[in-house]
Amino acid sequence: MKLTIIGTGYVGLVTGTCFAEVGHQVICVDNDASKVKKLQAGGIPIYEPGLEEMVKKNVAAGRLRFTTSTAEGVEQSDVIFIAVPTPPQPDGAVDLSFIEKVAREIASAMTSYKIVVDKSTVPVKTGDQVAETIKRYCKAKVEFDVVSNPEFLREGFAVDDLMHPDRIVVGVKSQRPVAAMKEVYEPFKAPIIVTDINSAELIKHASNSFLALKISYINAISVICEATGANVNEVANGMGMDARIGRRFLDASLGFGGSCFPKDLSAFVKISEQVGYDFGLLKEVQKINAEQMNRFVKKISETLWVLKDKTIG
């Protein structure tokens, strides 16, 4: 199939490259001309195991190319994926300005039916806003479908996660885009969950929040273990052998960080507040996560006395 990915950040570049790897014709769009030039030459701005080699291979094979033109990508593809940043605002809400800008650009370039897929992590009901924006700014007044297709990639394992996914979530309002979405993902041989757009959008935030909860839970257990002389690893192993719980994400640590969990957790708390629910459980997860780092700092301060000019790793 002919696919366009708008945004060549972490999600966009990995997604576009893996789509090309399984045989699709892929155009990746970015408004940074120097970045596009570098990518077309096979250089990548991020490190992800196996990605650079895969980019070079598919550029050379003619299945993957890069451009600064959204219009070119829209005109030459059947399915357009939006994979632009959704950074947090100071209050924890998500900044959707990049999504809106891209939706307008897609609308302006559309002259025939297109499937517009939201790959970025967005609050529930964003799909409705994208559809309204495209409808408002599409001068050709052609038909289109908006689809939610959240990503579930881990940094350091993104290529493997996309090539061998646990599941693929597709949120739609009508059945018209379903066959095309199944064709896009057929080479990956993974279960495809077809649901409504709101549910698909919520699945991403609910999944990441639950994983963060597991991390904070075992970190809270580690405090009890330390106070009682129990071994947190043994406790985690015993818990994890229960199929209802599972062992993954039950490793006591400094807590969660990175670009996804903190942002997604704050966003989900904000989303919950906006619909009238005080998600106290997730607020406690955030609190435990912050306290875990403070405990670590206290421990090393007591052990090393003076931390200034010391390197800890």
Those residues with Cβ within 8 angstroms of residue 214's Cβ, 6 or more apart along the chain or in another chain: 248, 249, 250
Task: List, by residue number, the catalytic residues.
Answer: 260
Those residues with Cβ within 8 angstroms of residue 115's Cβ, 6 or more apart along the chain or in another chain: 78, 79, 80, 144, 145, 147, 177, 180, 181
Q: Is 249 left (phi over 0), alpha (psi -120 to 50) or beta?
A: left
Dmax (CA) of the chain:
70
Q: In angstroms, rounded to a whole number, what is the distance separating the alpha carbons of residues 235 and 231?
A: 6
Q: Which residue has the tokens 């090309």?
A: 20
DSSP codes, 152-204? ---TTSHHHHHHS-S-EEEEESSSTTHHHHHHHHGGG---EEEEEHHHHHHHH
> 3-class SS at 145?
strand
